Amino acid sequence: MPVISLLTDFGLSDSYAGIMKGVIASLCPDARVIDITHQVAPGDIYGAAYALSSACPYFPKDTIHVTVVDPGVGSGRRIIAVRTGAGIFLAPDNGVLSMVADKYRVSAAYSVENRDIFIHPVSKTFHGRDIFAPVAAYLACKMDMAELGPAVSEKSLVRLDYAQRPELDEKGRLCGSVIAVDRFGNLITNIGREDIEEAFGAGRADGQEDICINAGDRIIRGISESYSSVPEGALLAIIGSTGRLEISVNAGNAASQLKLGRKDRVTAAPCDAIND
């Protein structure tokens, strides 16, 4: 049974996501459609890129991942289909595949231009229905990607400007940034467990009190093993489900409390270095 994932900013109060599923069911009834989320903030390409890269490792490797966060719909922007070791990704060429392309090797990429498989007339405002859904359905029913349109170079794909990995500064501090804020207000950083252990030693990401985290004007001593390791309302640092360092508040909202968001600086280091 082929699997198609959907990730959009359509929300759940309108019929857009349901219509896409209806198109897919009409053209490839055997396909199983799984929603990653339809609650990406409207037009938030960066947020969609993060959500997609976080979710796709947990899907079958031949999944067709459809992402429709497309503020340029109806313009001259391309629609692309990209094959990687984590599946096929169908999306507007607006940078939303940046994190996936950085995480997995791209083995092929195509510009989606075969109008014979689109729904006509093609709306200027709803390519999710008229292009993305039918293309995903045909791919699920074993259409060869080469039939979608001309091959394109991976280097030609639009990329987001973001720091993939943190860097060590001259004082030995691991300098990273917030890459996402989830609905609980957790500040998710680009500092991974492996970055902390590579910089400071094996096991240093697991509940170590001598590692300090600097976020905004606050210093958090230690990496907690759970939210309940600190009192309610207190700040903590924790390795979250994506393997990245997160700044959180037990039963609270770290983004609101610290007034921090995407791209804000976060550093980690042995406490004697971070206070230097």
Domains in the chain, please, with CATH? 3-156 (3.40.50.10790), 167-274 (2.40.30.90)
pLDDT at res. 208: 61
Distance (Å, rounded) from C-alpha 76 to C-alpha 72?
8
Provide the whole-model pTM: 0.92
Residue type at 103 in one-letter notation: K
**Mean pLDDT for back-to-back runs of 10 residues, the chain (276 residues):** 97 98 98 98 96 97 98 96 97 97 96 98 97 98 97 96 90 95 96 93 75 95 93 96 96 97 95 65
Cα dihedral sign, 189-246-49-145: positive
CB atoms within 10 A of CB 73: 18
17-26 long-range contacts, Cβ below 8 Å, gap at least 24? 19/128, 19/129, 19/133, 20/66, 20/68, 20/128, 20/129, 20/132, 20/133, 21/133, 23/119, 23/129, 23/133, 23/134, 23/137, 24/133, 24/136, 24/137, 24/140, 26/137
* Sole residue written with tokens 């999306």: 91
Taking a C-beta distance cutoff of 8 angstroms, is the pair 238, 224 a contact?
yes
Q: What is the pLDDT of residue 201?
A: 86
Torsion of CA 175, 179, 182, 184, to 10 degrees: 20
Rounded Cα distance, 86 and 42, in Å: 26
